[in-house]
Amino acid sequence: MRKLLSFVAAAVVGVFTSGIALAAAEAAAPAAGDYSRAALAIATGFAIAIGAFGAALGQGRMAAAAMESIGRNPNAADRIQLPMILGLAFIEALALYAFVIAFLLQGKI
Amino acid sequence: MEHPFTWYSLLPYPLSRIAEPNFTALIIALVVIGLALAFRSALQRAKDPVIPDRGITLRNMMEMLVEIVLGLSDSIIGKNGRKYVPLFGTLFIFILIANLSGLIPGVTPPTSSFFVNLGMGLVVFVAYHYFGVRANGAHYIKQFMGPMLMLAPLLFVIELFSHIFRPVSLSIRLFGNMFGDHLVLETFSNLTKLVIPVAFYILGTLVSVIQAAVFTILTVIYVAMAISHEH
């Protein structure tokens, strides 16, 4: 009985490890080109994510300051709006550079 | 990712040799010229050009657009900037109509192509240097030299690069906004067919108007910097 149990356990372990080994072999088998594709996919996501993150922080600070000054002095709203939109456009351009790069990378996957 | 359907793909052979952005830009340019001619004839037909028409007419809309651009130029350059208003107005109306044409299903706006925008950026680049030279003469070169003669070689290189990248950043900004906006609309139209894309149409309208305004405002500022006598 003990012999049978140990045999079954050994068989189970053997099957599992062989599965892992097989999976490892399968993962190792593809050519290096697939790794670069994976790296491209990760880079695409992170490019636009980091770009959008920084631009969002910058635009948030800018809009907060503009809102605060409009709240303090509502008569100056017209004068504040134009530079605010300009500044937002400048910050947004940085996010758009990230977007363009992300799109270039995405085309290479 | 190919576009699902465009009206451009229905064109017969000789016309389809023209690339899509060029073709749509051509159509938009013809529309702008037609609007200008119609506006001119409406002004000539009016009994008293000072009194506006009743209701919403083409003339009232065009006068509103002209008023916006004129106010922009007056608030940044001042009264002596009025002779440059034709450039700003043409850019504003062309980019506005081109951006808004992207909201028609099956039309890719010409401003979502980088090279159409680069063309407009280069026009702005050449124009403001020309205006600067015409307003300041040979003293225009002093704007590149900075405050001290010692620093001039260093500052000249910095200013040169900042000027070279102005048209590039102008065109990439417009291209990225319009292209990204179109892409978002397309992706969400593929995901959800019915009500949800309407929100992105609203966003698209907003982005179209704001980007047309931003391009024009930056052009006005570049011209204002070029023709100023401060340095």
CB contact under 8 A, A86 and B217: yes
Number of structural domains, chain A? 2
For residue A19, the enclosing domain spans: 1-30
Task: Specify the residue for token string 């192509």.
Answer: B113
**With contacts defined as CB-CB under 8 Å, which chain A residues touch B211?**
89
Residues A14 and A51 in one domain: no
| CB nearest to B176's CB, from A85, A86, A96 | A96
Residues A70 and A21 in one domain: no
Residues A40 and A77 in one domain: yes
Residues A80 and A49 in one domain: yes
Residues A6 and A24 in one domain: yes
CB contact under 8 A, B173 and A82: no
Residues A91 and A47 in one domain: yes
* Interchain CB contacts (distance < 8 Å): A and B: 34
Query: Are B74 and B175 in contact, with CB atoms under 8 Å apart?
Result: no
Residues A25 and A50 in one domain: no
CB atoms within 10 A of CB B207: 20
Residues A40 and A85 in one domain: yes
Residues A19 and A40 in one domain: no
Residues A26 and A36 in one domain: no
**Total-model pTM:** 0.80
Amino acid in position B164: I
Q: Which residue in B has a C-alpha nearest to residue A86's C-alpha? A: B214
Alpha helices in chain B (DSSP H): 13-16, 20-45, 58-76, 85-101, 114-136, 152-191, 197-227
**ipTM summary value:** 0.73
pLDDT (tens digit, 0 to 9) for every residue of chain B, 231 residues total? 455 678 888 888 777 788 888 889 999 999 999 999 999 998 888 888 777 777 788 888 888 899 999 999 998 888 888 899 999 999 999 999 999 998 888 888 999 999 999 999 999 999 999 999 999 888 888 888 877 888 888 888 999 999 999 999 999 999 999 998 888 888 888 888 788 888 888 989 999 999 999 999 999 999 999 998 765
Q: Which residue in B has a C-alpha nearest to residue A87's C-alpha? A: B214
Q: Rounded CA gap, B155 and B153, in Å?
A: 6
Q: Which residue in B has a C-alpha nearest to residue A78's C-alpha? A: B75
Torsion sign over Cα A29, A31, A32, A34? negative
What are A16-51's pLDDT values in tens digits? 555 555 555 555 555 556 888 899 999 999 999 999
What are B133-185's pLDDT values in tens digits? 999 888 888 888 877 888 888 888 999 999 999 999 999 999 999 998 888 88
Measure B138 CA to nearest chain A CA, in Å.
Answer: 31
CB contact under 8 A, A89 and B180: no
Q: Which long-range contacts (CB under 8 A, 24 or more apart) does B200-207 make?
A: B201/B103, B204/B102, B204/B103, B205/B100, B205/B103, B207/B99, B207/B177, B207/B178, B207/B181
Residues A23 and A40 in one domain: no
Residues A99 and A53 in one domain: yes
Torsions phi, psi for B134 (to 5 deg): -70, -35
Q: What is the pLDDT of residue B194?
A: 81
CATH number of domain containing A49: 1.20.20.10
Task: Specify the residue for token string 């758009």.
Answer: A96
Q: What is the pLDDT of residue B221?
A: 92
CB contact under 8 A, A93 and B180: no
